[in-house]
Amino acid sequence: MRSRSNPNVQLAIVGRNLANDVPRAATALHKDEVIMPGRNVRFVIRFANF
């Protein structure tokens, strides 16, 4: 989403694994013991200088 007052600023919300499943790396040797990170939500502000 671009800001109307300043087109060089972008706002974003990024969500990963919102269902909070238990992901495992399929190629890992110990995939049953090591789990990947759970739920993650990020708020991002990007500035562009031209």
pLDDT in tens, 1-45: 555 677 788 889 999 888 877 777 777 777 777 777 778 899 999
Three-class secondary structure assignment of 25-47: CCCCCCCCCCCCCCCEEEEEEEE
pLDDT at 4 (0 to 100) = 63
pLDDT at 1 (0 to 100) = 57
C-alpha span between 1 and 45 (Å, rounded): 10
Is this model's pTM higher than 0.75 or not? no
Reduced to 3 states (helix: H, G, I; strand: E, B; else coil), residue 48 is coil
pLDDT in tens, 21-30: 777 777 777 7
pLDDT at 12 (0 to 100) = 92
